[in-house]
Structure 1
Amino acid sequence: MTAIEDLAVIGDLQTAALVDAEGSVVWLCLPRFDSPACFAALLDTDAAGHWRIAPADGGRCTRRRYRGDTLVLETEWETPDGTVRVVDHMPLRGRYPDVVRIVEGVTGEVAVRGELAVRFDYGRVVPWVRRVGDRWQALAGPDALWLSTPAPLEGRDRTTVSEFTVRAGERVPFVLTWTPGHHDAPPEVDAERALGETVAAWERWVADGRAVGGRWAGAVTRSLVTLRALTHAPTGGIVAAVTTSLPEQPGGPRNWDYRYSWLRDSTYTLQALLAAGHTEEAQAWRRWLLRAVAGDPADLQIMYGVDGTRRLPEAELDWLAGWEGSRPVRTGNAAAAQLQLDVVGEVLDGLHLARAAGLGAPEEAWDLQCALLDHLEGQWQQPDSGLWEQRGEPRHFVHSKVMAWVAFDRMVRGAREHGLPGPVEHWARVRDTIRAEVLEHGVHDGHLVQSYGSTELDAALLLVPRVGFLPADDPRVVATVEAVQRDLTRDGLVLRYRPDSSGDGLPGTEGVFLACSFWLVDALHGAGRRDEAEALFERLLGCASDLGLLSEEWDPDAGRQLGNTPQAFSHFALVVTAVQLDEGRHARSDHPVGAARAGAPRLP
């Protein structure tokens, strides 16, 4: 089974493929991120669909890298007969999505073998494969894949096989194009021209931003490129990850579909993009956010499809064995229907940040924001499922109440600072009521707790100073940070919560949550504990793969990644944390980070 840290991502800003260290595409959904996979070996065996191009003797590559600050992957094998390189990329989308693979002879001459096993609908459908002119077509119902290559091809055991020898200086292209099943053959793609255009497009995108992160600039740029790869360019939505059902615990049932856009990512998204000067992408995300939340506030969801789709029915794919036997494999996400009170606060926090950054007229969509706040006023005293989408009984989660405070606080400030209409004094009274309730019922033994009446901890409490509910040096915040370090860490990295306290009825545990560990870095930095913060940040960078990619979680015992990948939440947090450390200041969620403003306080 492919290790999660062995996965490389390539994409065209509408979907993405994952390539393992043996040269095999083991995951690809077409035509977009949340479409059914045509290669699903990641969640089963090669029989569920894969596309391998590698030396005939196979084996793990000798080295791999991205070409500069792009999403073009170069994988090399040194063999007794010579060195061969496979260059993989997805050209930015034209009419149809393409995967382009170029086999390049570097030294000597190497026997190469290609295996293409297309299995539509997550490995369930074996297509009809036939030659159409000088191409091979795999066809089944609504889907067709077209393969073009000068290399020899033949069918063996429901697999299209290519065997050839590549010599130093030779380049052999393969182009795989998806079309709807009822469409004619797509236009031919010039692989070399597509490669040049793809490299240039990524280089332009990076150059359009600004260098941030100081001595961590390399990690920050790779994270930004990865976040761009998770973007659905036509809508501006950003998926949480390109995969489903990579587990929080190998062999366990905590396997969820992350190929959707979460509202709570809004302020982190905006802060990360604005920090690097990518204002166009920040504006596109803001427009997506406004479209997603438009309508009746009672219908607000925590996540949506990349095009704003609201119905995300959860299903189990019982024909897939799961990654390391982690079942069930799920598509859709039932958590979309949960009540999570923090979401309104995160949306209004993000829109406040957008106003502060000058991304749009202050009055735009103000009526919608007022409607969201009015709805929250009738809900904030209810128990909910919380930030972590726990599937047990609803509770009065402290983080949810804090984010309700954020919602009212940002609206009060929006009205006062931008002259926008609304019952400001009433909003201020509700805000103050929420704060008083949290400090009365959400504190135990001097520190904040997960929920009212509980003694449990929650990593989301580390966000309290970030959103401005309490300052970073408040004794209750300091005590919370110390309690998290003492009782909610494994090997110094942060758990979201203790799984046995979740009440969701699911067995097992999970790894440490990488975003939460970045939050601890921020909290330590805000408290003036810079040396500790930097040491922890460096440790977290060590959890990235050789290509700089982060998944959702880390297993400290096995020293490997867990969870869906590449994880936007982890990369957002990396960018924001690196910029804050480099600038020497602790930025709140309602202020842009990056390019520190004159007079902004700096930490020692």
Structure 2
Amino acid sequence: MALRIEDYALIGDCETAALVARDGSIDWLCWPRFDSPACFAALLGGPEHGRWLVAPSDPAPRVTRRYRPGTLVLETEFETVEGAVALVDFMPLRGQASDLVRLVLGRRGRVAMRTELALRFGYGADVPWVTRLPEGEPGLRAIAGPDMVELHTPVPLRGEGLATRGEFAVQAGQVVPFVLTYGPSHLPAPPPADPDTALAETEAFWTGWSARCGHTGDWHEAVLRSHITLKALTYAPTGGIVAAPTTSLPEWIGGPRNWDYRFCWLRDATLALISLIDAGYLEEARDWREWLLRAAAGSPSQTQIMYGLAGERYLGERELDWLPGYEGSRPVRVGNAAHAQFQLDVYGEVADALHQGRRAGLAPSAAGWALERALTERVAAVWDRPDEGIWEVRGGRRHFVHSKVMAWVALDRAVRGVEEFGLEGPVERWRALRRTIHEEVCRRGFDPGLNSFVQSYGSGTLDASLLLIPQVGFLPPGDPRVRGTVEAVGRRLMADGLVLRYDTAEAADGLPPGEGAFLACSFWYADALALLGRRAEARALFERLLALRNDVGLLAEEYDPRAGRQLGNFPQAFSHLALANTARNLSAAARPAAQRAGAPMPAEGRVARR
């Protein structure tokens, strides 16, 4: 059975990623892309569904692990009564092929080791044909349909029970390498990476990238680790950012809220752009903007909430009935049917992302303004329709307040484009509609009895997305309705001090109740407290959230405070973006929440105009 979600660490090559468990087993890897079928799927089943173990023969070693500073190179140290070894895991940035490198370094004494490789293509369903490498070269080749993998290692290997096994020993000062290389089965096998060269180049890439991080405030290491994670979740060929590298890790153990997050959500654009710009990663911000423009291009009426890594539009959902699911949480899904939903808020997210890029000084884009104008007109035509909302409910469309607020944002950013940047557009008509939307939301979306905005018109249900009202500039933080909403969320959506998205027992979202506290919402609550001047409370909550990260600084989507464990897909880009932005909101200088609401861009996050 897979370990706890927080017992995994991430490695990747900015095109795909693997999850490495504390026990030395790689239990998840999709090749050659994030959204390809997994060849290691033990995370959603057992070893028989594919994994790669490298570990001491001792069944109970003492384990510590870390990332090498400023990198995505993972180092796991095993101590036994015989001695100590370090297992170094990483994926070099791609050259001719995609490689996964594992180095066993002898640190002390002599440690007996073992390895077990069980390749299962097609999400654990397809057993490959395994042969020895030609001409006596040590290692093996595995082929199934279009996929081919070669393992290069000096360790003697044998086939046993549809897996490849081997035993070896490592002495102090000795290095035993393993290189697993992927390639299409119809082409000649690509040459494997040289382990020493690959390690040096991989470390140099990540340390060089990390050195560009412009965050100089408190919690630098936490912010840097979050940005490294965000970079690792970026699909380098296109600039798209996946929400997570996994599918179907449950939002509640044993429940059905198990979704595929290996796609690019438009609403992540705002947080991603602001976070990358504020940290000094302008190239990545430009790449994300360009991905956004390509993905959303076309008829405004066909704009989707999410796309594939290269902007693919069809993300059909199906269930994999041969996988038992993480700790029995079924169904296991690939694809995501929510791609066809109508979610009004994404228009505001796109408009805000493009506006923040302009304010930061990214090179003007005629295509960007043309797209924004078209989307603004689309909002003008559909803003008064019900939608599925930010949380992608499957229980029917409603007039979600957050969605209406973000429709207001779309009009507001278009107006600001004219007022602040001299762009052309029907600004008087946009101003009038902006005012109309604002008046309706304040009239129909606020419940005087609760002294709070509500999830949808007339619902009486609260929603953590309402915490974003002051952040996007819809109302100032000092407005009594904002204060009342923050206080109501604190009373009714808290689970042991962490924030739920909404109460699943009363939400009629089309699924059985039950999920963990949503970590991004908890960061939003800290932001809201800070905007209200309750900075000591905000810092205390933020420090608690930092303590929920695993031993290598990673967060999933949700957290179960009673069981004390992470839930949902892992690691989650949204959680790490929220962490980085809250750290900056609580620092003395740049404040992303104030930026979105319209405050001047801090000098350190502004790009010189040409």
**TM-score bracket for the superposition, by shorter chain length:** over 0.9
Distance 2:471 2:61 in 1: 43
Q: Label 1:511 to 1:497 Cα distance change in 2 as closer, same or farther (>3 A).
A: same
Q: How far does residue 151 in structure 1 lie from its aligned partner after superposition? A: 1.2
Give the match for residue 460 of structure 1. 465
Segments ≥4 residues shifted beyond 4 Å = 590-598
Q: Counterpart of 1:28 in structure 2: which amino acid?
A: L
Distance 1:105 1:596 in 2: 44
Distance 1:504 1:270 in 2: 30
Counterparts of 1:73-92 in structure 2, within 5 Å, are: 73-92=74-93
Q: How far does residue 188 in structure 1 lie from its aligned partner after superposition? A: 3.0
1:316-369 deviations in whole A, cap 9, x for unaligned?
A: 000000001000000000000000000000000000000111112154432221
Q: How far does residue 150 in structure 1 lie from its aligned partner after superposition? A: 1.0
**What's the secondary structure of 1:112's corresponding residue?**
strand
Asked if structure 2 preserves the Cα contact closer than 8 Å seen for 1:362 and 1:418, the reply is: no
1:255-295 deviations in whole A, cap 9, x for unaligned?
A: 00000000000110011111110000000000000101100
Asked if structure 2 preserves the Cα contact closer than 8 Å seen for 1:576 and 1:593, the reply is: no
Distance 1:328 1:245 in 2: 8
Asked whether 1:441 is paired with 2:448, we answer no
Asked if structure 2 preserves the Cα contact closer than 8 Å seen for 1:109 and 1:165, the reply is: yes
Give the match for residue 601 of structure 1. none
Asked if structure 1 preserves the Cα contact closer than 8 Å seen for 2:278 and 2:604, the reply is: no
Asked whether 1:194 is paired with 2:194, we answer no
Q: Counterpart of 1:441 in structure 2: which amino acid?
A: R
**What's the secondary structure of 1:417's corresponding residue?**
helix
Counterparts of 1:585-604 in structure 2, within 5 Å, are: 585=591, 586-589=593-596
Q: How far does residue 209 in structure 1 lie from its aligned partner after superposition? A: 2.9
Q: Counterpart of 1:302 in structure 2: which amino acid?
A: I
Q: Label 1:9 to 1:60 Cα distance change in 2 as closer, same or farther (>3 A).
A: farther
Counterparts of 1:55-74 in structure 2, within 5 Å, are: 55-59=56-60, 61-74=62-75
Q: How far does residue 171 in structure 1 lie from its aligned partner after superposition? A: 0.1
Asked if structure 2 preserves the Cα contact closer than 8 Å seen for 1:349 and 1:410, the reply is: yes
Asked whether 1:531 is paired with 2:532, we answer no
Asked whether 1:341 is paired with 2:348, we answer no
2:456 aligned to which of 438, 451, 464: 451
Distance 1:529 1:504 in 2: 33
Q: How far does residue 58 in structure 1 lie from its aligned partner after superposition? A: 3.3
Q: How far does residue 238 in structure 1 lie from its aligned partner after superposition? A: 0.3
1:479-537 deviations in whole A, cap 9, x for unaligned?
A: 00000000011011100001123323311300000000000000000000000000000
Q: Label 1:279 to 1:399 Cα distance change in 2 as closer, same or farther (>3 A).
A: same
Distance 1:529 1:596 in 2: 25
Q: Counterpart of 2:173 in structure 1: which amino acid?
A: G
1:47-85 deviations in whole A, cap 9, x for unaligned?
A: 000000000123465200000110000011110100011
Asked if structure 1 preserves the Cα contact closer than 8 Å seen for 2:279 and 2:605, the reply is: no
Asked if structure 1 preserves the Cα contact closer than 8 Å seen for 2:280 and 2:605, the reply is: no
Deviates more, 1:499-508 or 1:32-41: 499-508
Q: How far does residue 415 in structure 1 lie from its aligned partner after superposition? A: 1.1
Distance 1:433 1:363 in 2: 28
Counterparts of 1:85-104 in structure 2, within 5 Å, are: 85-104=86-105
Asked if structure 2 preserves the Cα contact closer than 8 Å seen for 1:253 and 1:328, the reply is: yes
Q: Counterpart of 1:580 in structure 2: which amino acid?
A: N
Give the match for residue 378 of structure 1. 381
Counterparts of 1:140-539 in structure 2, within 5 Å, are: 140-212=144-216, 214-361=217-364, 363-445=366-448, 446-539=451-544
Give the match for residue 114 of structure 1. 115
Report the aligned-residue RMSD. Answer: 1.3
Distance 1:299 1:548 in 2: 38
Q: How far does residue 591 in structure 1 lie from its aligned partner after superposition? A: 6.0
1:558 aligned to which of 540, 545, 563: 563
Distance 1:547 1:60 in 2: 19
What is the identity percentage for the equivalent residue pairs of Structure 1 and Structure 2?
59
**What's the secondary structure of 1:378's corresponding residue?**
helix
Q: Label 1:593 to 1:5 Cα distance change in 2 as closer, same or farther (>3 A).
A: farther
Distance 1:59 1:181 in 2: 39
Q: How far does residue 596 in structure 1 lie from its aligned partner after superposition? A: 5.8
Give the alignment's TM-score, normalised by structure 2: 0.96
Q: Label 1:595 to 1:509 Cα distance change in 2 as closer, same or farther (>3 A).
A: farther
Distance 1:595 1:322 in 2: 48
Distance 1:513 1:355 in 2: 31
Q: Counterpart of 2:65 in structure 1: which amino acid?
A: R
**What's the secondary structure of 1:554's corresponding residue?**
strand
Q: Counterpart of 2:177 in structure 1: which amino acid?
A: P
Q: Counterpart of 2:246 in structure 1: which amino acid?
A: T
Q: Counterpart of 2:378 in structure 1: which amino acid?
A: H
**What's the secondary structure of 1:454's corresponding residue?**
coil
Q: Label 1:14 to 1:206 Cα distance change in 2 as closer, same or farther (>3 A).
A: same
1:543-565 deviations in whole A, cap 9, x for unaligned?
A: 10010000000001001000001
Q: Label 1:17 to 1:595 Cα distance change in 2 as closer, same or farther (>3 A).
A: farther
Distance 2:141 2:277 in 1: 43
Distance 1:30 1:493 in 2: 36
Distance 2:585 2:75 in 1: 32
Q: Counterpart of 1:377 in structure 2: which amino acid?
A: A
Asked if structure 1 preserves the Cα contact closer than 8 Å seen for 2:99 and 2:192, the reply is: no
Give the match for residue 602 of structure 1. none
**What's the secondary structure of 1:430's corresponding residue?**
helix
Asked if structure 1 preserves the Cα contact closer than 8 Å seen for 2:393 and 2:510, the reply is: no
Asked if structure 1 preserves the Cα contact closer than 8 Å seen for 2:181 and 2:192, the reply is: no
Aligned residues: 597
Deviates more, 1:88-97 or 1:328-337: 88-97
Distance 2:257 2:193 in 1: 41
Asked if structure 1 preserves the Cα contact closer than 8 Å seen for 2:278 and 2:605, the reply is: no
Deviates more, 1:397-406 or 1:155-164: 155-164
Give the alignment's TM-score, normalised by structure 1: 0.97
What are the ranges of 5 or more consecutive residues in structure 1 without an aligned counterpart?
599-604
Q: How far does residue 583 in structure 1 lie from its aligned partner after superposition? A: 2.0
